[in-house]
A and B are shown apart, each in its own frame.
Chain A
Amino acid sequence: MGAAHPEAMAPPKPGRTRTAPPQMPSTWWSAPRIRTYLLFDATGFIYFLVGFHAIHMIRALGEGPEAWQAVMSSLSHPLYILFHVVALASVIFVAVRFFRLFPKAQPPSIGPAKPPPGNVIHAMLYVVWIGITLVMSLALSGVIF
């Protein structure tokens, strides 16, 4: 058997090892899941615009009937319609993602009670969503209330 290396049991040298900073793979943004996540994050910009538009409408309401009518007529512009279609698609995309991830964020028990299984919560979210959409659609179209 050969002799042990003379420095095999030597105490470590003082100071820290020089390290290279963390590296991100050059293609990190092209992974499908990351692209979906980036799209999810980007929808925040749409909500910013929707919020800005809502404030603009409230201001117009305060400025009088002419200003309000001007805003209402501008809503029929094809660009506004396109914007609202994109906003609706964003909301559906975020809602579906949220519904998928929400059930597993439930604690295993809340006091003595156990939440229902994840797939039941998932289904309940869709039922509530469809229910609220239905009631609002009926209310806004004047069928109820």
Chain B
Amino acid sequence: MPTTEKTIVLTRFDPDKDETPRKQEYQVPCEPSWKVLDAVNFIKDELDSTISYRWSCRMAVCGSCGMMVNGEPKLTCKAALDEYGSRVEIEPLANFPIVRDLVVELDGFMHKFESVKPWIIRAKERAADMENLNEKGTYSQSTEELADFKQFSMCINCMLCYSACPVVANEPEFLGPAAIALGHRYNLDNRDEGTEERHEIFRGEGTVFSCSYANECSEVCPKNVDPAAAINQAKFGAVIDWAKGLVLPRGGSN
């Protein structure tokens, strides 16, 4: 198969040796069918076994191979290499501390995820709940009810949205697109009763109202989750909840 030689520029950073990240160039004979990840794998296998990066499924499901490709966050297993020119610059995801080479630190991201309570919250188990259970002992949910949130549950935690977000770049403590989309996904789930708790989190500093609706998160999302829509719907919900608390007894809750 004919190959095209491309210059692949990787960011290198060894925490034991390097003060700051540096660039290293590799000449790679690329096949037409390759994704960007194939070129990085070629470098690892044939040219330089010391490079570090994350990848797993190679089919845009695991969300681990996100990197900056020519300045744009991409899932490297999904980005076709022939869409780029003869020089391709691959960097670790922007807005994340770098652990080594193309590997970024996830601690802050995981903490943000946890903070939106991404699980179904039931206020309390009631006798009425038992009536809603079907014969299999599970809660019934119609297709329409599922459609309300399904889009927001397709996130693969690839973190491209955090890398693209100009607010995260300026305000690293911003809760961020994927975490808010996940919280909003549970708020829209008809089995969940934790909306008020999450809206209280969303009304806090550095959450939904920090978003300036640049829409970059939705532009780069490889699964069309549209986190920008989730954040802005969450803004609406958080304000309505707050207003209900002002005018209705017990905030309108049952």
Q: How far is the CA of A133 from the CA of B97 in the complex (A)?
A: 49
Across the interface, which residues of A come within 8 angstroms of B96, CB to CB? 22
Q: Which of B78-86, B112-120, B126-134, B228-236 contacts A (4 or more CB under 8 A)?
A: B228-236
Q: Are A25 and B91 in contact (CB under 8 A)?
A: yes
A94 to B134, CA, bound (A): 50
Are B92 and A23 in contact (CB-based, < 8 A)?
A: yes
CA distance A88 to B236 in the complex (A): 29
Residue of A nearest to B235 (CB): A105
Contact A108 B188, CB 8 Å, known A19-B105, A27-B71, A31-B71: yes
* In contact, B92 and A17 (Cβ under 8 angstroms): no
The reply to whether the CB of B215 lies closer than 8 angstroms to some CB of chain A is yes
B233 touches A20 (CB 8 A): no
Q: How far is the CA of A23 from the CA of B94 in the complex (A)?
A: 5
Assembled-state Cα–Cα distance A33/B166 (Å): 12
Chain B positions within 8 Å of A93 at CB level: none
CB distance from A48 to the nearest CB of B (A): 17
Of the stretches B13-21, B26-34, B42-50, B54-62, the one at the interface is: B13-21
Interface contact B68-A22, CB-CB below 8 Å: no
List B residues at the A interface (Cβ < 8 Å). 11, 13, 15, 18, 20-21, 68, 70-72, 89, 91-92, 94-99, 105, 147-149, 166, 169, 172, 188, 212-216, 219, 226, 228-229, 232-233, 235-237
7 pairs, A vs B, C-beta closer than 8 Å: A19-B97, A19-B99, A21-B97, A24-B94, A24-B169, A41-B212, A105-B235
Instruction: Name A's B-contacting residues (CB within 8 A).
Output: 17-28, 30-31, 33-34, 37, 41, 101, 104-109
